[in-house]
Structure formats: structure tokens, C-alpha cells
Amino acid sequence: MIDPMAPVPPDQLESVVRGWRALSPRLVSLGRDRPEGTKGIFVNPPATRGSTVLFSSVGAMEQAGHGRYGDELIYGAMGTPIGHRLEQAIATIEGGTHAQLAPSGLAACALPFLAYAKAGEHCLLADSVYGPTRRFAEKVLRRFGVEITYFPPGATEGELRALIQPNTRIIFAESPGSHSFEVLDVPMLGRLAAQTGARLIVDNTWGIGLFSPFAHGAHVSVQALSKYPSGHSDLILGAVTVASEADWRPLRDAAIQAGQVAGPDDCALTLRGLRTMGVRQMQQAATALAVALWLESRPEVARVLHPALPSCPGHEYWKRDFTGASSLFGVVFDAAFTLDDMVAMIDGLSLFGIGASWGGYESLILPTTGGISRQCPSVTQAGPTCRLHIGLEEGAALVADLARGLDGMSAARHRHGPA
Ligand SMILES: *Cc1c(COP(=O)(O)O)cnc(C)c1O
């Protein structure tokens, strides 16, 4: 029997889409010119390719070099007109002043460490950060003599204060956490950073458009543009945004020194993706909430890790600080089921793709049991867990697919008995 999806209460639905209702119309014009005088222009700024930039004189070339903190055209590796437009658009969405593109979301996570940390200094990272960010800290930062400590996502202000050292320069947060979805008290982290002189960096990929990092005490915000901004699962790109000149100069220097470049075609596609990001997110967030509520009603499910649901760790911070939700959330199954049970269920689904990444228009599912690597106990250790990304498919069809899968998983458990 397929249990139908109950209608989502209007207030709850509004709570996940209201931010996009406000932002969506503004996305139409970000990073674009308006026609002036008698000259016509294309709606979409063209992808500008180039390496060498020619100047009329040696003096003019030297002059351009001084413009590296702005949008000056100097050399292809130091930015392109289409890249600068995308940077401008991302900085506006994030509420910052300057953005720097990076070739991937991971490169954007690494760049602030390269910009703001050095040997002998200490960085404090949320235990729930994106796995490859943690791998960068472990494999690269430690090798260069940077000390790393992880804090539990639910740490109190007092517990965090005890982890801060005189040489702490960076607090790196991601909210909600990768795979485990704990929402962090970012304003509290911002206060601690301000009191101790550290920089607070937030990976805001899940919260783009819905969480204003700089209004909540962050100095630096990171985006994987490969997700909702580009939105079509066809490119890899990242961005780092700051809100002050003091944070901008070292970031821009590090980007140039480390050769961080974004391809012009990816920039043009991402600018195009931004135009529809609001409507995509509104639709996908609404379907995701309905699917999450339906899953919560199922006997096989122990817990749904969706920041808009009270059962999600840190839900109160989401309610206070976010203006909506994205369409990515987690599910913890009852511990009576094994990982193999869940994997067999996932393999049998027909509307969910199995694969990494998210933010496209298609639904995805991924086993996340145990998280990638955690030091502190994690909600993803309570039973088999998976992560769902809800796309633009019809909600009732997705629920029917999941219902078939869960019914089959329960039936198999009854046939074989508990593990
Ligand atoms: C995907 C992701 C990244 C990395 O982005 P890529 O473009 O895939 O390198 C970083 N942070 C978060 C939270 C992500 O989900």
C-alpha cells in the first residue's frame, strides 16, 4: 500500500520558501548591464576567453597591475570580465563586498586557510564540516605546521571558549553540517571570533540566499557554485566572499599566488543558472519538505534530519537565522535495519539517482552512515543513514517510489528476522 503525502501546513511551507520569494526577482538582473544610449547589448553577458591582455604601452600595463584588487583586466589567470560579473552577483547574494572565484567548491574552502593561516597558528573546525575540507586540514594544513582542532556542532559557548587558544586564527563552520545537518549557532561563533581576533569562515553552500553570513558575524563565506547556483549538474565552481577590505586583500593575494582561476564558460553557465535559482529552490524546497514530513511518518524512519523540522539538531538556530530551507536533508533509519538493508532499498529506487553532489534539478540519494569522518558522536551513527536531494520531479511520484522501497525493506526484514 502506498501511503499518500499529507498536504504541508501553509505556515510550514512558507517557512522554507519565504527567503526565495524575496530574492528571486532580484536574481534576474544581477551581474548584467542595461542598454545605454544607442548601443544594443545581449541579455546574457558573453563568455569572454583570453590569456594575454594587450596594452598600448609598458606604462599602461604596469598601471593595470595596480588594479588587481579590483576588476582590472591584467592577465587571464587574474580574472575575466565574465568572472568578475559572477563575482559581483555572488557577493550581492551573500551580502558581502568582494568575491573571488575558485575552480571548485573545495578550492573555495581551502583558499581562506591559504589566505589567513600560517605555521604555528591554530584553526578550529566544526566536526561536521564537508569531508574534503577536513581532508585538506588533515593532509595539507598539518603538513605545513598549522594546528587543527574540531569542535562538536552542539558545543556551548563555554565549551568553545575552552577550545580557543592564543594562536587561534580561524574558526571554520558549516551550517547545517555535511551529512549530519546540525545547524550551528553562527552568531555565537561570530561573537567568539570577534572577542579572540580569529576570523569566522562559514561554508554557506546549503544556505545560499537563505542565510546572510555577514549579518551573523562571519568574516568569510564559502560557496560551492557547483550546487544550486549553476543548478544543472554540469560544472564545478566555487566562490569565497568577504565583507571588508581588510579581509579582501589577503584573500585576493592568496588567490593570485595559488593560481585560482575559473573557466569563462563555467562562469557564463553559472550566471545563467542564477536566474532560475530562486524558482528552482522554491519548488524543490516545497517538495523536499513534503517528502521529509512523509518520511517522518514512516515506521522505518527513526529521525529526519531536515533543519526546518524540530527533530533536527539546531532547529532553533535555523528558525532564528534562516529565511528558508534548501532541498537537501538526511534520514536516519531505525537501528533494526542494517546498512545492507538500506543499500538494497536505495538500489531498488527508480526516480532517485545515486551519486555525489547535489543542487541540480534531479533527485539524488546517497548512503551517509557514520558520516565521512567524525571525532564526536554523530546523529549519522544512530542507524543506517542516507541523504536525499529533492529535484523538480513530482512529489507524489517521489513518495510512491520511496514507499515501494521502504515497504520492500520492511518485508525483507520480517522474512529474515533481525540481524
Ligand atoms: C559540494 C560541497 C563542496 C565542494 O564543492 P565542489 O564544487 O564539489 O568541490 C563544499 N562544501 C559543501 C558544503 C559542499 O556540499
Q: What is the pLDDT of residues 139-161, one digit of tens each?
A: 999 999 999 999 999 999 999 99
Confidence at residue 417, expressed as pLDDT on a 0 to 100 scale: 66
**What Å distances lie between residue 408 and 5, 302, 348, 368, CA to CA?**
18, 17, 9, 20
CA dihedral sign of residues 286, 287, 288, 291: positive
Cα end-to-end distance, the chain, whole Å = 25
The closest-lying atom of ligand 1 relative to the alpha carbon of residue 236 is: 7
Confidence at residue 415, expressed as pLDDT on a 0 to 100 scale: 78
Could you tell me which of 219, 211, 204, 215 has the C-alpha nearest to residue 249?
A: 219
Share of the chain above pLDDT 70, in %: 98
Give the span between the Cα atoms of 223 and 104, in whole angstroms.
9
**Model confidence at 377, in pLDDT bands (50, 70, 90)?**
confident
pLDDT at 374 over 90: no
Question: Which of 227, 326, 366, 389 is the pocket-test mutation for ligand 1 (most atoms within 8 Å of CB)?
Answer: 227
**What Å distances lie between residue 397 and 83, 153, 392, 419, CA to CA?**
39, 35, 11, 31
| Greater pLDDT, 370 or 270 | 270
Share of the chain above pLDDT 90, in %: 92
Confidence at residue 413, expressed as pLDDT on a 0 to 100 scale: 83
Whether the CB of 203 sits within 6 Å of ligand 1: yes
Contacts of 271 (CB under 8 A, 6+ apart): 31, 44, 45, 82, 85, 86, 89
Confidence at residue 369, expressed as pLDDT on a 0 to 100 scale: 85
| Greater pLDDT, 213 or 382 | 213
Confidence at residue 371, expressed as pLDDT on a 0 to 100 scale: 63
pLDDT at 416 over 80: no
Reported pTM: 0.96
Q: Rounded mean pLDDT of the chain?
A: 95
Give the span between the Cα atoms of 68 and 98, in whole angstroms.
12
Confidence at residue 376, expressed as pLDDT on a 0 to 100 scale: 82
Cα–ligand 1 centroid distance for 366 (angstroms): 15
The closest-lying atom of ligand 1 relative to the alpha carbon of residue 206 is: 13
* DSSP one-letter string for 41-62: --SSPP----S----SSHHHHH
Whether the CB of 106 sits within 6 Å of ligand 1: yes
Contacts of 137 (CB under 8 A, 6+ apart): 113, 123, 125, 146, 148
Give the span between the Cα atoms of 251 and 248, in whole angstroms.
5
What average pLDDT does the segment 33-46 reach? Answer: 92
2-26, pLDDT tens digit by residue? 567 788 999 999 999 999 999 999 9
Give the span between the Cα atoms of 38 and 317, in whole angstroms.
51
Confidence at residue 219, expressed as pLDDT on a 0 to 100 scale: 98
**Model confidence at 295, in pLDDT bands (50, 70, 90)?**
very high
Confidence at residue 414, expressed as pLDDT on a 0 to 100 scale: 79
pLDDT at 419 over 80: no
Give the span between the Cα atoms of 75 and 355, in whole angstroms.
37
Question: Which of 109, 135, 230, 328 is the pocket-test mutation for ligand 1 (most atoms within 8 Å of CB)?
Answer: 109
The closest-lying atom of ligand 1 relative to the alpha carbon of residue 225 is: 7
220-257, pLDDT tens digit by residue? 999 999 999 999 999 999 999 999 999 999 999 999 99
Whether the CB of 175 sits within 6 Å of ligand 1: no
Cα–ligand 1 centroid distance for 206 (angstroms): 10
Give the number of other CB atoms < 10 A from CB of residue 256: 18
